[in-house]
Structure 1
């Protein structure tokens, strides 16, 4: 299935990256080509998305919160795993580029792992979007999430749990379930099962004539999973970072298929090649924009 063609006077979105932290962790949890105790530095990215017509601001992920002492359960587990974390003040980064935290209309959190959930209450006017699969975890394990990598503190009165089993979700490209969020073909929330319950990706139209960015979240933590140079990792002590590796691999195959479509840029939440190529010069980082293909 092809991606939706552009309509007359097609709306689109501008996308910018935001440095949202770093993790020093065991590579073997991510890819099967790592040696036993091999470590990796993993950058974390969040994304600012701005609608071409309304100029509404939509954030995808919030990275690692700057006050690491408030990670509670996840802070304990990451220490046991030997992870070293760096958090970021995302609202400060936005405001440095001229965007007030009060202007943020929507925040979609790809999933409820600690390195994506940041500090939601710093955005006083935002509606939060979470996958419905995360709701029972929040209800049964929150707020401390002891013994897990989960950590999230959203204002539930401003949170919508989006459910890909509802009729509003339809196939798009290689993906069986996606939601046309604005209703104008500019931004799709994509169901991305396998990593953790409720995991979501975004497919964003970035031009009036057929360019796209796919924000893959943690569908793949390493580009070698998409090039075929490595398979999903299973560490001897800590296991796999995906809760359902089979579903995760099926979703990786869909992303590989998407990569064969014309004018589609794929970006990972922990995209080392993008960071290495662009961070030093600030290319594609807010307030700059990621170039449309």
Structure 2
């Protein structure tokens, strides 16, 4: 499996993690098939800040759980029935502690509109929001009535671009059939990642001028055991599977497994418990620090 080699003076992005919330009491059987009965666990939530090596333009991937969880809307009924415990985060405040203003953020890609990724978009007054085209249909049909789903988003439509992965400027990269070279310089690719829900997006980003990469997998996999082969996609006896199309989700997982064979690709999950357990206590890799490139 090959990825595009770097060009002379190749642009890249620094990547930083941001704590964007926490979900307690997750029914793990809906995620992986190795958990029996009603086994529960906790999931951290991560947002990622990317900064272009030349322009220093900030780009956010996901916004986590909004801080005022009482305003999550219809999803709170499902949260209650699943007996989840939520903690939200103020992402603009986290940015500003590291010296970056919310007004500086020009682009925010939201992997999908589940409540633990969609945050509170209106907090970013100058940002354009990037979502997969499949989300537009959902919003047109269901918004604002999201009862019975995990959907929740307060989206400034006038500042939103719905990205169509069938467009001519999307092309294969590595194991992925459709990706958009966002800046046009090979530094950041938005990747079509179907399966979890319509319009689900991932990000493949260069992390050095000499061949390092990071893959931000969103909810393609919620647990590293899905990527190591220790588990397969799960199905809870009451709440079903976390993925809306489990077969396509498994295909997406297999593509990430192929990517893992590349020695200079670091894969990061939206709910990356090993990363959090290894780094959160001392802030390694968390904004304003950066995640080391491979």
Q: Secondary structure at the match of 1:136?
A: helix
TM value normalised by structure 2:
0.99
Aligned to 2:293: 292
Instruction: Say if 2:265 is the partner of 1:260.
Output: no
Match of 1:196 in 2: 197
Q: Which residue of 2 aligns with 1:226?
A: 227
With the length of structure 1 as denominator, give the TM-score of the two structures: 0.99
Q: Is the 8 A contact 1:143 1:153 kept in 2?
A: no
- In the alignment, structure 1 residue 16 sits paired with structure 2 residue 16: yes
Summarize the alignment of residues 20-31 of structure 1 with structure 2, pairs less than 5 Å apart.
20-24=20-24, 25-31=26-32
Alignment deviations for residues 215-242 of structure 1 (CA, whole Å, 9 cap, x no partner): 0000000000000001111000000000
For residue 120 of structure 1, what is the aligned residue in structure 2? 121
SS at match of 1:252: helix
**2-structure distance, mates of 1:30, 1:209:** 36
User: Which residue of structure 2 lines up, in the alignment, with residue 57 of structure 1?
Assistant: 58
| Residue 39 of structure 2: aligned partner | 38
CA contact (8 A) 1:225 1:252 kept: yes
CA-atom RMSD, angstroms? Answer: 0.7
Q: How many residues align?
A: 293
Q: Which runs of 4+ in 1 moved over 4 A?
A: none
User: Following TM superposition, by how much is the alpha carbon of 1:8 offset from its aligned partner in structure 2, in angstroms?
Assistant: 1.0
Cα offset, 1:244, TM superposition = 0.3
1:93 maps to 94
Aligned to 1:247: 248
- The residue aligned with 1:108 is 109
User: Per the alignment, in what secondary structure is the counterpart of residue 85 of structure 1?
Assistant: strand
Q: What SS does the aligned partner of 1:49 have?
A: strand
Report the alpha carbon displacement of residue 262 of structure 1 after superposing the two structures with TM: 2.2
CA apart distance, 1:144: 3.8
Give the match's secondary structure for 1:138: helix
Secondary structure of 1:203's match? strand
Gaps of 5+ in 2: none
- Stretches of structure 1 that go unaligned for 5 or more consecutive residues are none
